[in-house]
């Protein structure tokens, strides 16, 4: 299982690929704060349906730690909540938020970028090379920011798998 950030849910739902998370993980976990961030806007109805079956809303036990991380690291409460949840569950955290990933990694939490997740899907044969490249292209079209150097490196990695 994995703990997933709103940045990933929003981008995948914008391109109608939210179910890719289900294919890879079977079930994922989010917090109520993350759900509150994604329950409106493009793709929100797809996310809402998924929350009735394979997306589980779960709250971390250590609420004090959420506040401590939020204040000390200068990140949003929703981001702090999924960091604490991933730490408690010892699950991988999937995000496309730089600050969130840097804080989580400083706490020893395994983190995957959305692009890392796509590469893992390819390696596990959940996606073909062609599908992976198309999803990457679609994500950029849907608003995912990706440096040209990183984009080129990911395309090379896809070809090498």
Give 92-126 pLDDT, tens digit per residue: 999 999 999 999 999 999 999 999 999 999 999 99
Domain of 83, CATH number, reads 3.40.50.1010
123-157 pLDDT tens trace: 999 999 999 999 999 999 999 999 999 999 999 99
Q: 13 with 76, same domain?
A: yes
Q: Are residues 32 and 51 in the same domain?
A: yes
Domain boundary among 83, 98, 113: 113
* Number of domains the chain contains: 2
pTM of the model: 0.94
Query: Are 129 and 152 in the same domain?
Result: yes
* CA 34 to the chain's CA centroid: 11
Q: Which domain holds residue 144?
A: 115-160
Judge if 119 and 43 occupy the same domain: no
State yes or no: pLDDT of 43 exceeds 80.
no
How far lies 35's CA from each of 12, 40, 126, in Å?
Answer: 15, 9, 26
Q: Are residues 104 and 125 in the same domain?
A: no
């Amino acid at each position: 299982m994995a703990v997933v950030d709103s940045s990933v849910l929003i981008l995948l739902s914008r391109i109608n690929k939210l179910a890719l998370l289900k294919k890879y993980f079977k079930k994922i976990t989010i917090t109520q704060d993350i759900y509150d961030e994604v329950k409106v806007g493009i793709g929100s109805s797809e996310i809402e349906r998924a929350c009735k079956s394979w997306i589980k809303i779960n709250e971390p036990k250590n609420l004090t730690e959420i506040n401590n991380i939020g204040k000390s690291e200068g990140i949003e409460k929703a981001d702090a909540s999924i960091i604490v949840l991933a730490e408690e569950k010892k699950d991988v955290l999937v995000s496309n938020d730089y600050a969130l990933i840097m804080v989580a990694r400083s706490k020893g939490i395994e983190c995957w970028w959305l692009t890392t997740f796509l590469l893992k899907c390819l390696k596990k044969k959940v996606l073909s090379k062609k599908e992976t490249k198309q999803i990457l292209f679609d994500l950029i079209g849907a608003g995912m920011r990706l440096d040209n150097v990183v984009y080129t490196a990911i395309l090379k990695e896809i070809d090498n798998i």
